[in-house]
Structures are given as structure tokens and as C-alpha cells.
Amino acid sequence: MPDFETFRLVLEGLVAGLGVTVLVALSSLAIGLALGFALSLVREFTRTRAVHFAIDAYVELLRNIPALTHLFILYFGLASLGLRLSSIAAAILGLGLIGAAVTCDIFRAGFRSLPKGQVEASFAVGLTPRQTIVSILTPQAMRIALPGLGNYAVQLVKDTSVVSAIAAPEIMFFARSMVTSSFQTTLIYATAAGLYLLLSLPLMQCVRVLESHYGKLKG
């Protein structure tokens, strides 16, 4: 049975990758939310079929191909074409682009659940399309989309573990290296799981607080 000193050394080794895990998660989350929201607006409030087709194709492509495949294309595939990204940059870009496809659908579901009469009512009182989207539709859609976005954010934290496959020095990268050298498999992977849990639980709590806040505003 591993002693406390062994556990301390394992924890120190894994914490070395904690900063990169947080960096990748937050950066890709920002890309996913911003790009996904923009895509959902374009998809819902334009009438150009070519644009609809392009966005739908993007969403289906990135949602239905494994994340690891996207990372390999960005990290190894682009390098073979002369465009070399660092492992961290490829991880952030890859997970961010996948996140945009996921959040696009979440935001669209929020917009589509709103009564269509709100748009006509907004125009009737003199609001412009931009004012209607920003001031009337978006706050309501965000409240509806919040649970889905929270689940996506928590899933993203866990998905950062796959970026170790392209040598991004995050938690699982160090875990795999330590298992190879020490063979403390159960202890190392259990400790890594605990670190991911410590990252996910506060994030989920923040989502619950926001849901409660929006629920009070609605009431």
C-alpha cells in the first residue's frame, strides 16, 4: 500500500500539469462560447441557404468525428504541410473549434424555444433587429441555454485529458509518464481523477449559482 510520501510525490508530479489543464480548458471554452454564439446568430437570423449549409456542415463534421482525430490533424497533419503548431496551441484550437459546434446547437435551441411573436412585438415598438436580438432575445436564450452550457464546460475539463496524446503537458501527460517510470498505476490515475474532480465541482457550482440567479430574475 503506498505511503504518504509516495502520494505526496505523485500529487506534486501531477500538479505540474494543472496549470496547462486550466489554460487549455479556459482558452478553448472562450473560443467555443464566442464562436458558437456567433454561428448560432448567423444560422438563426440569416436566410441564405449557402450559409445555413456551411454552418450545418461544420457542426455535423466537428461533432461526429472524435476529438483526438481533430487534434492529430491540427498537430501532425498541419505540421506535414509546413504549418507547425505547439501542442498547447493545437489543443486549445482543436477543443475550441469542437466546442463551437457543440455550443452552436445549444444556443440555437435557446433561440428556437422563444415565442416567435416577440420579434414582431419588438419591431412594433420601434426596436431594430440588432436591438431585438441583443436586448430581448439573447438574455432569454442564454437563460435557457445555461444548463447545456454548464454541462459542456464540465465535459470540456474532462476532455482536456485527450490532449496528452499530442504531448501537451497537462495532468494526464504527467500521469502517463509517472506510471511508466513508477508503475503506481492505481494511485497515480486515482489522484489524477481527483484533480479533475476538484476542477469540475467548483465549475458546476458556479453554473448552479447562475441558474438560480436567472431563475429569480425570471420569477
The 8 Å CB, 24+ separation contacts for 63-72 are 63/98, 63/101, 63/102, 63/105, 67/94, 67/95, 67/98, 67/159, 67/162, 68/162, 68/165, 70/94, 70/97, 70/98, 71/95, 71/162, 71/163, 71/165, 71/166, 72/165, 72/166
pLDDT of residue 214: 67
CA distance 18 to 24: 10
C-alpha cell recorded at residue 93:
484550437
Measure the CA–CA gap between 99 and 102, rounded to whole angstroms: 5
Domains, the chain, ranges and CATH? 4-218 (1.10.3720.10)
Provide the pLDDT for residue 172: 93
CA dihedral over 68, 42, 44, 53, signed as positive or negative: negative
Read off the amino acid at residue 108.
R
pLDDT tens sequence for the chain (219 residues) = 566 777 888 888 899 899 999 999 999 999 999 999 999 999 998 889 999 999 999 999 999 999 999 999 999 999 999 999 999 999 999 999 999 999 999 999 999 998 888 888 888 888 888 888 888 899 889 889 998 999 999 999 999 999 999 989 999 999 998 998 887 899 999 999 999 999 998 888 888 887 777 666 554
- Alpha-carbon distance of 187 to 182, in angstroms, equals 10
Q: End-to-end alpha-carbon separation of the chain, Å?
A: 54
pLDDT at 215: 64
pLDDT at 1: 54
- Interacting residues of 178 by C-beta distance below 8 A, sequence separation 6+: 10, 13, 14, 184, 188
- SS3 call for 187: helix
**What local confidence, expressed as pLDDT, does residue 183 receive?**
78
Which residues touch 135 (CB under 8 Å, ≥6 apart)? 127
75/90 Cα distance (integer angstroms): 6
- Residue 24 neighbours by CB distance under 10 Å: 25
